[in-house]
Structures are given as structure tokens and as C-alpha cells.
Chains A and B, each alone.
Chain A
Amino acid sequence: MFDFPIFEMPTIGLRMLMAINAIIHVFVSHGGAVGGSVVLALAAWWANKRNDMASYETVYRLLMVFFIITTSVGALTGIGMWIHANIISPNAIGGLIRVFFWKWFIEWIVFNFEVVLLLFWFMTWKQKALTPEGRAKSVRFGIFYAVSSWVTMLIITAILGFMLTPNFDGQPWVDPEVYPGNVNYNNALFNPTWFPGLAFRTFSSIAFAAALAIMWTWLITAFSKDEAIRNTREGLIKLFAKIMIVTVPVGAALGYYYLLQIPEAARAMIPTAMMTRAFADKMDLMYMIISGIGGAVVVTTIIAYFSPKRMPYIAATLMVSAFLLFWGYEERTREFIRKPFLIYNYMYANGIRVTDVPHLNKVGILKHAIFVDEEKKVIKEDKSNLIEVGHTIAQIECRACHTENGINGLKFLTKGWSEAAIRNRINNLPGGGTPYMAPFVGTEAEKDALAAYIASLNKRGEIK
């Protein structure tokens, strides 16, 4: 926001920068850690119970893949979420940490269990695999690992739920008219989308992990020189397909239930969220995509179940790709429908709090922009620096979602617009068919400056 230094990400924009990290993290944490732990613990238990040592060995190789990816990519993009949030919206993440400090602290303690159990399970597997008692112990490590993974998800979904639905049924989490804000931690925690979100994520994560396991089982068994390992394909793929047959429909049903808990205003944004504005009206296309993804998952599951031995690699890859698409969409949608807010009804996507607005409209957004040089924030008598000042305002208020000339670029969006047209549009950003935009905040003079800057983007290089 205005009181922090400004960092801009050219071309791809801040939103995309965050999205790259977030999507990788969701793939790995959901598919690899939360779902993966359950699926692999189950597979290890199943192979051990049937005394099928070849399958038990294949599960170890699967675990190795999951171990490598979750502990490196998964864990670090998890920390990355924070660092990215720091860069993009320090006020929002700062506020969230004030509200959820102890929950995060507990999550961190559970993380310790998770990581230590995983390290133990994986690094002692070989040695423990030699005796039946050892294997029983090893399987138990896996189960505890699965439980602790799930508990970390339990906590983080509360925070995600809070960002979407912080206030409900007249139980406010904070009184915005009091300083310093006294948070009601219980109201913040027990928000209405917490449990629906958790339930939906749990089952779809397990389904996703099973799909990943099918793909990797295929790979491992196809390239192994060991006959016994190659023969484990049928049994394991069938097992994973069984897991999917249970979790896919349950996950879908819970997803629908979650959808129903989302506030009306946010739900109305789903088509735009999924299709971008240009296609927002083409609902049939949206349904086609959804049924395409769903269909791909269902068909490949059925193949895997009835003919695991001949499950083609293409089908396994298709299944995983469908899931990747699904999570990508899910995350994009979840992030988008919150717009124009970052914390619903409390803070806009650009970090400006709703309560700040009347004051800033009076004194100007730039008055408190501490890290901006004088000549970039005070309009000179002769208005020679109007465009520069406007640029600063864009950096403060617009950069969270727009770039100058790249993704969602202001230049492209206002092609052919006169300065008066731009000025008029700024008057009413959330109106005009774009309810996901935050209102302009600042004085009339600042509005002029912003309009002048945006208009200048399409004038560059023109002979005056």
C-alpha cells in the first residue's frame, strides 16, 4: 500500500508472480503432501498386509518421488507464499499474521511432526523393511505423517476461509472504528467457509494424489529392469483407482456444497473469474470446460479400475493434467471472487482499508506515501510533473492487478480512449460492469494526474 516501498513486477505483473508460486504450491501441497501421504500410507499398509514385497518396494519408490518434490518444491513455495505476500500486499499479510499468529504457530509445530515423520518414514524404510515388526512400525510412521499433513491443511483453510468470509451473522471479527483493532479471534476462526472448504479440499487432494500415484506407478514399473517390480503395476493401479472411485464423487459433492456457502456477491463473479471478462457470458464454454475436466477424470478412472494392466500412459497423464487444470482453475477462481477485496469488506485488493477511504479522499493518497520522492508525489504549479505523479498513483492503487504494458496492461485496456473518457471511468471503477474493481481513492487533483498518466501510455512516440 501507500506507506510501504513500491515494488513493481514488469510485464507479468504482481498477480501473475504470486500465481506462479501459489499454483505450484497448491499442486505439491495438496497432491504431494496432504493427498500423497494418505494414498501412500494406505498403499504401504495394503502391500504389507498382503505380504506383497514387490509392491511394497514399488511404494517405496513412489514415496521417494513424493519425498523429493514435497520437501523441496512444496516446502519452499510454502514459505514463498509469505514472501510473495510481503511483496504484493504487506498490509494484508501483516494483518492476517496479527489475527492468526497463534494458529500459524500451532501449524508450524504440526509441520515439525510432519517433516520429521516424513524424514523418518522415508530414511528408515529400507532398514525397517527387513522384518515384519519393522514394516508395521514403518507403516505407522506413514499414518502419523498423513494425519499431521492433514492437520496443517485444517489450519490453513481457516485462514483462506477468513479472507473470503470474515464477517457473518452479525459476528464481526473486528470493529473498524476502534484503534488499535481488537480482534475477536473466535469469530475470525470459525468462519462459514472453513469446514466446507476443508472437506472439499481433503477429498479432492486424495483424488489428485491417487491420480499422481497412478502416473508414477506407470513410469516406475515401465522403466524398472526388475520383473517383479514390473508386475506390481496391475495391483497398485487398481488400488489407486479404487481410491479415486470413492474420492472423486465425494469431492465433487463437497465442492458443490462449498460453492453454496460462498456469499452471493462473490458467487456472481465466478463466470468472470473462470473465463476472463471477454468470455464471461459464454456460459456454455464454461460448462464445456468443466465437463471436459470432469469427464477426463471419470473416464480415466474407469480405465484404470477395469484394465489397470493396460492403462495407457496417455490416460494416466491425461488424468493428472485434468487435475492440474482443475486446481489451477479452482485457485484462480477462489482468488478472483474475493475481488475487489483481499479481506472481504475490510481491505481492498490494493491493500487500502475500507475505513481509510474517506480520509484519503480528503488528504490524498500520496500524502502518506512515505517512500516516494517529493517530485513524484507533489503536483507542481505548472503541472509539468502531472504524468509522473499519476504514475505513482497507478503504482500504489493499480499495480496489484494491472501492469503498464503487459498482462492486464493499462495501455491496452484504454486504447482509443480520450483523457476525458479515462477520467470518467476512474470516477466509477466498480460500476461499468466491473464490480471486481476497487474504487479510486484520493483527491480530484490526483484523479486528474492518474487520468493524464493512463492517457499518456497510448500517446508515447506520437508526434505532438
Chain B
Amino acid sequence: MNWKLPFDIPLVVPTMGLPGWFFDTLGIIVFVVHIAFIYTLIGASTASVLYNITGVFKKSKTDDLLAYKMTNPTTISENMGALWGVAPLLVISVLYTGFFYTAILKVSPHILHIIYGNIFAFLLSYAYKFSWHSLHHHKGFHIAIGLVAVLTFYTLPPVFMSMSNLYLQPETFATVQNIWDMMLTPLTGFRLINFFLTAFSFTGIVMIYLGVKWVKAGGEDAEAGHLAIDQGKKWFMWAAPVNIAVLPLVFFAFSPRISEAYIHTPFVFAPFAASVVLTILFFFLLKRFGTSEMNLSDATKAVVLMVVAVALMATARHGIRVVSFEEPLKLQAEATEKYMNDVIAEYKAYKEEMKNAPAVVLDPAVSLADSKGCLACHSVDTALVGPSYKEVAAKGESADVLIASLKNGSTGKWGETPMPPQTLTDEEAKTLVEWVLKQK
């Protein structure tokens, strides 16, 4: 295996004595919350635009109301999704620093799209939401704003997923040169299918849950609630079957080293378990198909099952990390230790040498020349940007001429390159010129 790994950061990992499983669990939990919000963001923003369109074509007020109501989960999930993305980033940065940063660097500058592209989409989604009533008579324009926002949101997962696939497979560091090398792999393809399908099924469940709440609230909201329940079921049942089939495959699309080792760990059961849970949820909803009545306890059950499925997917993903990082982490630690021992030995020797070296007494004129930047362009005996001081002294011009050259700058006397005027006091100029003239 051609490993190319950076050194580890030579500072202790601040675990505070907490065991490894603590950080594993923490990593999984914060990731599940983050991804749940992101699923909702993708789905809810799509739903809002979709029902806005159907509302126009069917001239249905209920569709329009549902579309408007879906902008609230969009706003909440985009804020919370970004916020909860920070925690996994923090945990990964401290535990797997070298791998994570290498991946980010390899997919730069495209990775910056998750900042700037996101800001763009965020602002458009706000524009879409807050202009709902004022653009009521310009639906085409309004829908266009929402559509661009949604499509921009869709461009973010491919970028992020490419980075993540790179970082999860450190053996690819040697060969992958840029983001496209990773984006156009079957693994990224599989994971994106899995991502979007999960996002749509997840949103289906969120819609059912919100629908039940709205029905309970009564009034105008109740109609939107019924529609949400009805549509939510369809979202889930369209997206789930393919996902149930694709899900277990995803974890075998990683590099052979990882896939082969993965089979021998208990983690291999997690994706299958996730598929089973999704299947159960499918039949649970099938039994309640064809009616837009649903009670809160059923909706809650559906939410719980969905979250369990997502948590299982996250566990399966964590398993990849465990399997994949074992060897490179060890190699990295060995290499870092050797490097740091060399560095520290050399540094100590250097300090010792400095201590024993006889103190050099510098001519104050030399340090003045140094601090004024003269030595950037001049040396005593070779011509650099400007003439050597020996040459200047040999030419034998008077001190006053040279002082004038320093203060006003000089050009054409030694070559084409000019010397810019130097900022010096009269005293300093005199000291320097006297020193220069001594260099014969």
C-alpha cells in the first residue's frame, strides 16, 4: 500500500481521561442530529417549492398553505443543521486531524462552496420565505427564487460527500488529485443516492408528524395537515424501497482494504438492520395508507423508527472509520514520533551550540545597516541589487555626495536599478556612509 500521510500534530489529544467510546458515541450522536436537520432542510425546501407549483396549477389554496408552512421547518433546519455540523467537525478535527485536513486540502478550493454556496442558498431561501405575501401575484418569479435556492442546496452534498469519502479512505491520498477524482466514483454515487433517498423519506415522516399537529390545531391549518399526512406517506413510500436495496451496498463500495476488513466486524450488520427498520416502517405506513387520518402516537412511532434507521446508518458509517483508520493512525503515530525525536534532538544541540558560541561583538554600524534594510540590497564585497560597499568606497566619492544619494535616492550611477530614498536621520546617514567608506 502506498501510504501518504502527514504527521500528527505534536500536542497531546485533550481527552481529559475520557475513554475512546465516549468520543465515538459523542461523534455518532452529534452527527445524527446534524444529518437529521440536513435531511429535513433538503426535503422541506423541496416540498415548499413543489406544493407552491401544484398550488398554482391546481389553483389549490391548501397546497399553497402547505408550501408556506414548510418554510418554517426549512428555516429551523438550515440554522440548526449548520450549527450541529460544527460539533462533528470539531470532534473529527481533534481526533483525526491529519486525515481530515488532507482531504479538505485535496478538494480545495471547491470545498469553499459549502460556505459561499450555502450563504447564497440561505439568503435566497429567506427571500423566498419573507416575500411570500408580497410576491403573491408574481408566482412565477417567486417559484423561481425558491427553485434556485433548492437547486443550490442540492449542490452541497456532492461536494461534502467527496471530501468525506476521501478522508474516510486515507489510501486514496496518494492518487486522488482533486475533487472530481472522488466525486465521480461509484462510492460517491451510491452514497448520494442513499443520502437523497433518506432525505426524502425522512421528510415524509416529518410531514406526517407536522400534519398530525396541524390537524389537531384545527381551522385552516387542519386542511394543510391532512394534505401533509397524505403526501408525507407518499414521499416515504416512494423513496424507501430503492433505499432499502441500496443501503447495504454502500458499505461495500469503499476501497477493497476497507470493505474486506469491514465484513469481519459487527458493524457489518448495521446497514442491514437499517434496511430492516425501513422495511418495517414501510409496512407500518402501508397499513394506514389511503386515509389522511393519523393519531399522534402512530406519527411518533414513525418518527422513532425513522430516527433509529438513521442512527443505524450513522453507526455503520462510524464502523468504516474504525476499520479504515486503525492502520494509518498507527503508521502516522510511528512516523510522527520518529520525526519529533529527530527534531527535538537537533533543537537541543542547536541551543547548546548557541550557548557555547562566543558572543559576536557587532559593529553598531552593521546592525544599523541591517535594521535599516541596506543589507537587503547591498553586501560588503559582492554586487547585489546595488553595488558592493567595497566598490563604493573604492570609487572614493565624498561623504556628502553619498549622504545625498541616500536621502534622495539615486539612479544611473551604478546601473539602471534605482535606489529608493532611504528614511534616515542625518546622524544615521553619516554613521552609515562613514562605515561604507571604511570598507576599502
Q: Tell whether A and B belong to one assembly.
A: yes
State whether the Cβ of B9 lies closer than 8 Å to any Cβ in chain A.
yes
- Among B339-363, those with CB < 8 Å from A are 339-350
- Complex CA gap A182/B112 in Å reads 33
Selected interface stretch from A1-9, A143-151, A240-248, A384-392: A1-9
The proximity string for A residues 113-137 relative to B, scoring 1 for CB distances below 8 Å and 0 otherwise, is 0010001000100000000000000
A281 pairs with B423, CB closer than 8 A? yes
Q: Which of B87, B101, B111, B382 has the most CB of A within 10 A?
A: B101
Closest to A64 in B: B130
Q: Are B108 and A7 in contact (CB under 8 A)?
A: yes
User: How distant is the Cα of A416 from the Cα of B16 in the complex, in angstroms?
Assistant: 56
What residues of chain B lie closer than 8 Å to A362, measured between beta carbons? 346
Cβ–Cβ contact A424 & B379, under 8 A: yes
Q: Give the distance in Å from the alpha carbon of A83 to the alpha carbon of B117 in the complex.
A: 14
Q: B126 contacts the other chain (Cβ, under 8 Å)?
A: yes
Which residues of the other chain, B, contact A433 by a CB distance below 8 angstroms? 371-373, 376
Is the CB–CB distance between A90 and B83 below 8 Å? Answer: no
Q: Tell me the minimal C-beta distance from B169 to chain A in angstroms.
A: 15
The number of chain B residues touching the other chain, given as a range, is 35 or more
Contact B119 A115 (CB under 8 A): no
* B106 CB–A CB distance under 8 Å: yes
> Measured between C-beta atoms, what is the minimum distance from A196 to chain B in Å?
26
Report the bound CA distance from A357 to B382 in whole Å: 28
Least Cβ–Cβ distance between B176 and chain A, in angstroms? 10
Within 8 A of B (CB), among A405-437: 416-418, 420-421, 424-425, 428, 431-434
A72 at the A/B interface (Cβ < 8 Å)?
yes
Interface mask (A82-105 → B, CB under 8 Å = 1, otherwise 0): 111011001101110111011011
B90 in contact with A370 (CB, 8 Å)? no
- Contact of A108 with B by CB under 8 A: yes
Q: Are A87 and B372 in contact (CB under 8 A)?
A: no
Contact between chains at B72 and A123 (CB < 8 Å) = yes
Decide yes or no whether B293 CB sits under 8 A from chain A: no
Chain B residues with CB under 8 Å of A261's CB are none
Asked whether, in the complex, the Cβ of B105 is within 8 Å of the Cβ of A87, the reply is: yes
**A112, A123, A180, A181 pick with most chain B CB within 10 angstroms:** A180
Q: Is A16 an interface residue (CB 8 A)?
A: no
Does A77 contact B119, Cβ atoms closer than 8 Å?
yes
Please measure, in the bound complex, the distance between the C-alpha atom of A82 and the C-alpha atom of B123, giving whole angstroms.
21
Task: Check if B405 is an interface residue, CB within 8 A of chain A.
Answer: no
Complex partner residue of B9 from A5, A82, A87, A94, CB under 8 angstroms? A94
Whether the pair A79, B343 counts as a contact (CB closer than 8 A) is: no
* Contact (Cβ within 8 A) B101 A94: yes
Would you call the interface of chain A mostly helix, strand, loop, or mixed?
helix
Residues of A within 8 A of B130 (CB): 64, 68
B260 contacts the other chain (CB 8 A): no
Q: Is B109 a contact partner of A7 (Cβ separation < 8 A)?
A: yes
Cα separation A432 to B368 with both chains bound (whole Å): 10
Q: Are B11 and A432 in contact (CB under 8 A)?
A: no
A359 to B343, Cβ gap below 8 A?
Answer: yes
A7 surroundings in chain B (CB, below 8 A): 105, 108-109
B231 on the A face (CB < 8 A): no
For B1-26 the 0/1 string (1 means CB < 8 A from A) is 00011110111111010000000000
The interface-forming segment of B74-82, B266-274, B281-289, B305-313 is B74-82
Residue B122, interface by CB 8 Å:
yes
Query: Is B263 interfacial (CB-CB < 8 Å)?
Result: no
Which residues of chain A are near B296, meaning CB under 8 Å?
A: none
Task: Please determine whether B85 and A181 come into contact, CB atoms closer than 8 angstroms.
Answer: no
Give Cα A356–Cα B373 distance, bound, in whole angstroms. Answer: 27
Rounded to whole angstroms, the CA-CA distance of A425 and B384 in the bound complex is 9
Closest to B343 in A: A359
The CA of A5 and the CA of B176, in the complex, are separated in Å by 11
For the complex, give the distance between the alpha carbons of A267 and B345 in Å: 34
| Pairwise interchain contact B104-A87, C-beta atoms closer than 8 A | yes
A72–B123 touching, CB < 8 Å:
yes
Known: A76-B118, A90-B6. A358 touches B347 (CB 8 A): yes
> Contact between B347 and A418 (Cβ–Cβ < 8 Å)?
no
Assembly CA distance A352 to B56 (angstroms): 61
Q: Would you call B376 and A356 a contact (CB within 8 A)?
A: no
- Which residues on B sit within 8 Å (CB–CB) of A68? 123, 126, 130
Residue of B14, B111, B341 touching A83 (CB-CB under 8 A): B111
Is A82 in contact with B89, judged by CB distance below 8 angstroms? yes
A434 in complex: contacting residue of B80, B118, B373, CB < 8 Å: B373
Q: Which residue of A lies closest to B89 (CB)?
A: A82
B166 → chain A closest CB, angstroms: 11
Cβ contacts under 8 Å, B83 to chain A: 75, 108, 111-112, 115
Residue with the greatest number of chain B CB neighbours at <10 A, chosen from A355, A362, A428: A355
Query: Residue B86 at the A interface, CB < 8 A?
Result: yes
- A83, A104, A353: the one contacting B104 at CB < 8 Å is A83
Question: What distance in Å separates the Cβ of A185 from its nearest Cβ neighbour in chain B?
Answer: 7
In the bound complex, CA of A94 to CA of B12 (Å):
11
A224 CB → nearest B CB, Å:
13
Nearest Cβ on chain A to B4's Cβ, whole angstroms:
5
Q: Which chain A residues border B16 with CB–CB below 8 Å?
A: 102
Q: B191 to nearest A CB, angstroms?
A: 21
Residues of chain B with a CB closer than 8 A to A82's CB = 89, 93
Q: Which of B80, B98, B119, B385 contacts A416 (CB 8 A)?
A: B385
Q: In the complex, A72→B149 CA distance in Å?
A: 13
Question: Shortest Cβ distance from B85 into chain A, in angstroms?
Answer: 7
Report the Cα distance A64→B112, complex, angstroms. Answer: 27
Confirm or deny: A174 has a beta carbon within 8 angstroms of a beta carbon on chain B: yes
In the bound complex, CA of A362 to CA of B372 (Å): 30
A76 adjacent to B343 (CB under 8 Å): no
Using known A-B contacts A21-B115, A64-B130, determine if residue A418 contacts B376 with beta carbons closer than 8 Å.
no
- Report whether B13 and A98 are in contact in the complex, using a CB–CB cutoff of 8 Å: yes
Q: Are A4 and B115 within 8 A (Cβ)?
A: no
Provide the bound-state CA to CA distance between A176 and B373, in Å.
31
Rounded to whole Å, the gap between the CB of B222 and the closest CB of chain A is 19
Q: A181 is contacted by which of B12, B94, B382 (Cβ under 8 Å)?
A: B12
In angstroms, Cα B345 to Cα A6, docked, is: 28
Residue pair B12, A180 in contact (C-beta under 8 Å): yes
- Contact indicator B102/A5 (Cβ below 8 Å): yes
Chain B neighbourhood of A181, CB < 8 A: 10-12
CB distance from A142 to the nearest CB of B (A): 17
* Contact pick for A101, options B14, B85, B376, CB 8 Å: B14
**Min CB distance, A148 to chain B, in Å?**
13
Determine whether A287 belongs to the interface, using a CB cutoff of 8 Å to chain B: no
User: Does A223 have its Cβ within 8 Å of any Cβ on chain B?
Assistant: no
- Is A371 positioned at the interface, with any CB of B under 8 Å from its CB? yes
17 cross-chain CB contacts under 8 A? A64-B130, A68-B123, A79-B82, A90-B97, A98-B14, A98-B97, A108-B83, A115-B83, A177-B347, A179-B10, A179-B337, A181-B10, A183-B12, A368-B339, A425-B384, A431-B370, A432-B374
Besides A94-B101, A95-B11, 9 other A-B contacts (C-beta < 8 A): A71-B122, A72-B122, A79-B82, A79-B85, A87-B109, A104-B90, A183-B14, A355-B344, A359-B342
Q: Which 3 A-B pairs have the closest CB atoms?
A: A433-B373, A432-B376, A421-B384
